[in-house]
Structure 1
Amino acid sequence: MVKTVEPWKQIAGGIAAPQGFYAEGVKAGIKYPDKYDVALIYSKVQAQAAGVYTKNLVKAHPLYLNQRHLQNGMAQGIVVNSGNANACVGAFGEQSAEAMAEAVAETAAIPQDDVLVASTGVIGVELPLERVLTGIKNAGTELFKTMEKASDEKRDASLAEGAHRAALAIMTTDTVVKEYAYELPCSQGGIIKLGAMAKGSGMIHPNMGTMLGFLTTDAEVPAAVLQHLLREAVEESFNMVTVDGDTSTNDMVLILANGVSGIAPNGDDMVNFEAMVKAMCIQLAKDIARDGEGASKLMEVQVTRAKTKEDARKIARSICGSSLVKAALFGEDANWGRILTAAGYSGADFNPNSVDIFLGNLAVAQAGKGISFSEETAKEILQHKEVEIRLVLNDGSENATAWGCDLTHEYVTINGSYRT
């Protein structure tokens, strides 16, 4: 297969790479004294904005605030804290989310309704609000210092450093920072940039688990178009990831487009921009699966030739979410029967007697039945850090891909003492 050359390329700068965006992260002592835990993202002008949220009926207080603030499709700042979910604490939680937005508005001299809020961490514990508000003030001070730097070279380095600290500040049990930036040359001349950062490691499941994602772009894109694009991107990325089957209360993905590039993509440029956003979300989703709590392997499940897109998605997600498949992956056991079984209870409509199953390029089942294959070759495939499982349903023309990870002893260790 010939690898497609994408029209965009990866660049440095993370969430602050697009023109007119700035970010900073600080240590506020929310849960741990020496951890970055408050992040601030700021656009120098008001931006078009959109958001997608968890489908869990139990939602954290910041999500309700964001739904209100995004009714006009506009935003200029995002504040995020880790270490505390600000969820399920009643009126104090609502007041805390409002106070965080108010603190950003005062620090940045922007309307409070233009501030979006996110939190992640332990559920059901009141936010140490004074520490968070002090952190917001400190983050704002550092961010505006960066904006005022005279030297372009120093300013660019400071932007990237601030963006990195912001990405660190949203992490909880993540073991690696998740931040990227792309740039897309346009046919009309000029460049569109896209920046992003995310967090997620455990409590991850389709409809989004304990994951937060933030994207910025300097393209001119209306909020309604952003909303449609973001929802499609999430369906193909974050909603196709599962680590442990739990869907959290705080999950959201937000995107801001401030138009500072002066480019409103259309035609092929818009097609490429949409593809770039989806590629960014898929990259972050794979990072989340790869960084699953205690994980030692990334699992990619490709389902091809399904009757419908939804059938393909159901099967791919079901296999990634199967504890038995995940355990077999950890044990490097080519137990293809668990894979077919997980497809069978997915709720998808397919003929089990037509399914071919592959581990990498190794066929392990054909027409729903086992075939002779090399256990040694299968073992070698399963020893890789990234393992591809492929099901060919031979039932249609639709495809889908999902991502997950293995289930290890370390997962239980991490989650057995998460609250304490």
Structure 2
Amino acid sequence: MDNDSKKERGGSEYTSITGTPGMTGGTGAPGNPSTTPHLSLVKGSRQSPEELHDQIRNERISMYVGITGAAGLPGDIEVNDKGEVTSPISDEVEAVLNDLTLKKIDTMGADELKDLIITNNDAINASITDLDAHNGNRAYTVGKALLRVEYIQSSRNLKNGFEDWCEENLKATRLKKRTRQKYMEIARIADATDYVVLGSEKLAGLAPILKKEDGLAPNHPIRSFMERYDISLQTCVDVDEMRFEIGLGMAMAKLGNNKVSVSRDSVRKFLECGFEVTKKDIEAMKAATDTGGDPAKYLERVIKNKQRPTVRTSDANKPPKNFQEQAQEIRDTVASLLKSPSVSKDIQVDRIDALIQDLEALKHRLSGSKDAGSTVDTTADTSASVPPVPPQVPSTPDVDAASNE
């Protein structure tokens, strides 16, 4: 492993899976095996509901003892240097402790409550972050094993051999096909083990993006990707920030692959508001780009409204409107625009021309169906019988905003 690789991966924060005791026995692994954390790989290590209940109960008791100081509890409470309660706690003592904690919370001021909320919420986020990092390791390992099984089964020339094997042997593990494919994609990334702290979900999301990026270093695709999109992990204060920066690079890559040009700062603000760049977002921005609009305005609008544009319906539980209803909605919108003292110049005339052409084509088709003996009635009022066909490209945010004026 070269020094640059060690530096980029944060030094001792990252451990190689090949040095994990219990898998290879440390045979042939360089360095001091005692410095590598031990990972238990015991078959059937799932906890029963009772075991998990007892574990969580012990954690809660330690937490509540820390909040109350155990003042007023019967008997002696023994606590180790980690703040963990080591003495047995009966159900009766636990009930008293729970009551004391609730009373303690009821006497806290706003500042104390703020500290209690932030401390425990930080612990929740940290535990999720840590678990996801560990699962990055596990997902990679499962993926490698699945790839090996796939190779073995394919070499036997059995039709659906791999999937049949998975169905027969992995059904009880609830390892579904989509998850298997995700783990295998992670395992195909050459330098995945250098970045397992990104977590299984982020690695799985990054895998298809790396495939679309031309010219990445074959043996270091993630590192090469970060260099291309100016992602520096050294400046990240924690894992969450690191994952955010990777996510920003992924969003920029998606937009670039779809020929959508938006500033990095605009995308950063969009992500900081809790949104992710989805297929629908890209389609909306492509529509703005294709009609000469500014795709960044779409992001600005979502940020301002704190939600994406949605199709307006009178009842969210109603089935989709039929063509007649859609046609009437368009007529109503046009009528309101015609009554307006001024119409936004951002409305693209060519979009209206495209709609007119689609309507004419549909009218001609319906007329042809009538001549052929169809029961379609085209003699009624056009506003009621001829449904408009929405343009193939979603309407731009600017057009949508103008229709609401």
| Structure ranking higher in helix proportion | 2
Higher-Rg structure is 2
| Structure ranking higher in strand proportion | 1
**Which has the bigger relative contact order, CA under 8 A and spacing at least 6?**
1
